[in-house]
Structure 1
């Protein structure tokens, strides 16, 4: 009883400290605003005036939270366009791009679809003050009568002592620069910029939003891997390949070429800017220069969409200051859904916001109602650097959902200079319970050399693996796992980054993967269009009823066809199933309807070659509810 009282008291103090120190305010500039293109101009501007905090109010941190939904009475938009969020102060002609969004391919999203992203924009706190015009700019040319996005832009402001005193912000580059054109070289625009440092400046930071677009003979700038260098006073201080692998995008699957790697972006991605710190001699001049990898081509069309800022900061306000940035796992945030979301080992991201190198601190963590666990971290993390930590002891609760608490203490054995950002909570979701005997059903496609699947325990010890050398094309494998009580992770890897099926690669065929019980019932279905990997965490606990995945598994292939389309349907229960094929642009125009009574499992084939060459939807309806919808492109 006393232990329970002490736990409740600790939780109360934890919450009170967190609430007191982390006073936050949410300022919303665009509240579920419908965003569509303006095909006549290629961009559409949505401007709103917003009142931000006054200059004399200290700000510790600002997150920009961005939410996309399907609009009312419209469908989600189709294309991966570039959107900008810019701000302008009253009576000022200068605007600042504070965030950049690359929109997803929304053609297959259901009406209730929603996704949330966030980016730290604290560096812009000196200008996010008083009355501001916030402009959401949506680019593109697609139809604006039937499709778009419902967008919410939310500024989450945490008040408190800043990490370092902000002194100045300079916009040094801003343009959509040609790349590869020898008659108009990009370096003419990315010329060195000389600035005079504030007399109180202690260090500087370069902040860059850069994405590659266009398509020349070499795939540049969207699909080519080039480097960029940052020079400070003529010396290279940072070099980066402007390339991003898209097969692990947490927003998946999408309708278009979402898996294709791109030049520093992916479809359905809120850009996380590049940030590089450098030393400043107070009151003296310094030079910053950006150089792109030398590149020329005969018929240039590549563009580098780039804006760069130099920020000056004064004194760092604390010598010892550790910050808990995020709880990656456990978490119910969709942005972390690819990263071990219900794993037995918690994963957190921390940052050193203290002047002294961070060499040690203590982590306290626990699930609601359980005794706190302790972990002492040792390392050497410089100011401004971040680190990902996997906490060593397993966490588990039989509750379907509970709160997970983390607190960081005693950086370098000292009192934290700012304790307001040392604590966070997240939502823990109990992993599925599986039986002691589980069957892995894995059907390969035409490229089995790209795949392997395995089971490991919480600490990475391998329990089972089927390597790519063991797999043959278009073959179904059924591996029986016999597991002891404990926590496990099932992984599927695809080195091609295109899953077991992808509409653009129809010749690669399609495969499927499921976990079954010994009766052949589905415990877990996995979407074949998964990109680079699947991570699924579960627990084996003898004598406890295990989870069944009673939602049907539905897969349609190919999505681009001359006529034949196959629908693979697998369910645990018999249902009356209706398959409806409609035109995409007018879904009231139904071209085929098929009804299957008491249907449980089977492969259904349709030949649409007699229809006009255009785009269609294939829908599956069960008990009057649409449970599946995918686009079909009939090609010549």
Structure 2
């Protein structure tokens, strides 16, 4: 959403700052409705540090970041050789017609698929951590649990699988995943790291995860079972660490929290005065 349109200047303005509902119709029947409001996503933008409105919630995008896709399954909503598709947004309020001067930039594509090639086909589509790519810089480098994306590329619902993971030259670990993913659905999976020795390998700094045993059976397409990333190890500071924190003119909008490897809060501060260094 773009624009800051409003008759009376009352927030939210349309369409960059207004959380609207989006609809898709097939042959006149609503098949899906969804929201694209980015509540906290912009603060996690890999293009940082940024100030001003870059951190604020937005309608459907964050400056400098990728726009998220929204997939709608139409198989059960259409029949025959033709279909009429229509996209709609929350109507402009009658009490504030000026909002109609806002706009959306939308791209839509229609994909047609054949039947799934394999019944059992689990795949790893992404490793979010550890990963040294710039897009994942807000979560890396790490000394904690890994995070990967598991997808069901098979025609049978995926309810269980085994994930094996290790750094190059290191000791492998296994994780038994359970859930329920329909065809082409995906889920983020946290892979626990037992202790710091997990990262001790051959110095190549490569992380590999492999999925196997979908639903207790044999994966019928091995080519997408493994995913390897490069990573950087975090810097170790000894013996002490000193952090300096300076508040701005709106300190009520900011807090800071320090956690240890297990996620426990070891230090936190909030409600601090403006323009003060700690």
Question: Are the aligned partners of 1:322 and 1:416 in contact in 2 as well (CA < 8 Å)?
Answer: yes
Rounded to whole Å, the distance in 1 between the matches of 2:143 and 2:31 is 38
Structure 2: stretches of 5+ with no match in the other structure:
7-11
Is 1:440 matched with 2:243?
Answer: yes
Of the three residues 210, 224, 229, the one matched with 1:421 is: 224
The Cα of 1:412 is off from its aligned counterpart by 0.8
Is 1:237 matched with 2:31?
Answer: yes
* Other-structure match for 1:216: 5
Of the three residues 4, 19, 22, the one matched with 1:228 is: 22
Question: Are the aligned partners of 2:168 and 2:201 in contact in 1 as well (CA < 8 Å)?
Answer: no
The Cα of 1:220 is off from its aligned counterpart by 1.8
The Cα of 1:254 is off from its aligned counterpart by 5.2
Is 1:431 matched with 2:242?
Answer: no
The residue correspondences of 1:359-398 to structure 2 (distance < 5 A) are 359-394=159-194, 395-397=198-200
Rounded to whole Å, the distance in 1 between the matches of 2:169 and 2:114 is 44
* Other-structure match for 2:75: 279
Rounded to whole Å, the distance in 1 between the matches of 2:241 and 2:42 is 31
Rounded to whole Å, the distance in 2 between the matches of 1:247 and 1:467 is 19
Rounded to whole Å, the distance in 2 between the matches of 1:323 and 1:232 is 31
Distance 1:341 1:275, change over 3 A: farther
Q: Match of 1:441, SS?
A: coil
Is 1:411 matched with 2:214?
Answer: yes
Rounded to whole Å, the distance in 2 between the matches of 1:258 and 1:434 is 32
The Cα of 1:230 is off from its aligned counterpart by 2.0
The residue correspondences of 1:180-191 to structure 2 (distance < 5 A) are none
Deviations 1:155-179 (CA, angstroms, capped at 9, x unpaired): xxxxxxxxxxxxxxxxxxxxxxxxx
CA-based RMSD: 2.6
Rounded to whole Å, the distance in 2 between the matches of 1:362 and 1:391 is 11
The Cα of 1:224 is off from its aligned counterpart by 2.4
The Cα of 1:436 is off from its aligned counterpart by 4.4
* Other-structure match for 2:49: 253
Of the three residues 257, 261, 269, the one matched with 1:458 is: 261
TM-score relative to the length of structure 1: 0.39
The Cα of 1:231 is off from its aligned counterpart by 3.1
* Other-structure match for 1:263: 59
The Cα of 1:348 is off from its aligned counterpart by 0.6
Question: Are the aligned partners of 1:452 and 1:465 in contact in 2 as well (CA < 8 Å)?
Answer: no
Rounded to whole Å, the distance in 2 between the matches of 1:420 and 1:350 is 14
Q: Where do 4+ consecutive residues of structure 1 move more than 6 Å?
A: none
Q: Match of 2:44, SS?
A: coil
Distance 1:238 1:278, change over 3 A: same
The residue correspondences of 1:549-628 to structure 2 (distance < 5 A) are none
User: May I ask how many residue pairs the two structures share in their alignment?
Assistant: 264
Is 1:325 matched with 2:125?
Answer: yes
Is 1:290 matched with 2:79?
Answer: no
Rounded to whole Å, the distance in 1 between the matches of 2:67 and 2:19 is 17
* Other-structure match for 2:277: 476
Deviates further, 451-460 or 283-292: 283-292
Distance 1:383 1:421, change over 3 A: same
Rounded to whole Å, the distance in 1 between the matches of 2:256 and 2:69 is 34
Rounded to whole Å, the distance in 1 between the matches of 2:122 and 2:44 is 29
Deviations 1:509-550 (CA, angstroms, capped at 9, x unpaired): xxxxxxxxxxxxxxxxxxxxxxxxxxxxxxxxxxxxxxxxxx
Q: Match of 2:248, SS?
A: coil
Rg larger in structure: 1
Rounded to whole Å, the distance in 2 between the matches of 1:475 and 1:253 is 20
Q: Match of 1:337, SS?
A: helix
The Cα of 1:330 is off from its aligned counterpart by 0.7
The Cα of 1:389 is off from its aligned counterpart by 0.9
The Cα of 1:468 is off from its aligned counterpart by 1.4
The Cα of 1:358 is off from its aligned counterpart by 0.9
Distance 1:442 1:401, change over 3 A: farther
Distance 1:431 1:319, change over 3 A: same
In terms of fraction of residues, the more helix-rich structure is 2
Distance 1:307 1:431, change over 3 A: closer
Greater RCO (CA < 8 Å, at least 6 residues apart): 2
Rounded to whole Å, the distance in 1 between the matches of 2:204 and 2:245 is 30
